[in-house]
Chains A and B, each alone.
Chain A
């Protein structure tokens, strides 16, 4: 039962342009969402999060948008840089801490 879905397995974007990664979820009880970035042969690293009481959270080049009615969140990276090339995972949870559900990931490739 895949409760968190990232339907785009890969995304290619030119350096300097905007990268938009999408994530959909089915469990309306999820109240906290996170994005992780993963380089090959390394563990995922935390990027940005958003609580369900907000619809937007911004941190530097990274902005996460949450649309609760559509059960959809997105991560915007602008401007994209070559170092942003990685796999990005969306995650969601129902508790303040506890079981997290992860999406399958989106491979982002930023080309010069």
Chain B
């Protein structure tokens, strides 16, 4: 079975600083995809970044980047130059090409301090 674990229920970061959110996953599939979603107070789910397991290069989207450690089954999200608008719940998610099911972690609440 697929599992996604986020062990940090809450994190805080000072504005303009860098923070890393942790995620570990478990799957027996070789073809899988990993995602980070952001859920601000509006509750809208917004895709932050996506990583294909077959790609060795870590995905990057502006201030957001991932550290994908395939052997350790780790998929952490790094937010650089944190902004007040980054405050939100962040969910890690995984899916495989065969199951069509997305499995979400329990989320990490990020607070950004001015």
Do A and B bind? no
A residues at B contact (CB < 8 Å): none
Residues of B within 8 A of A (CB): none
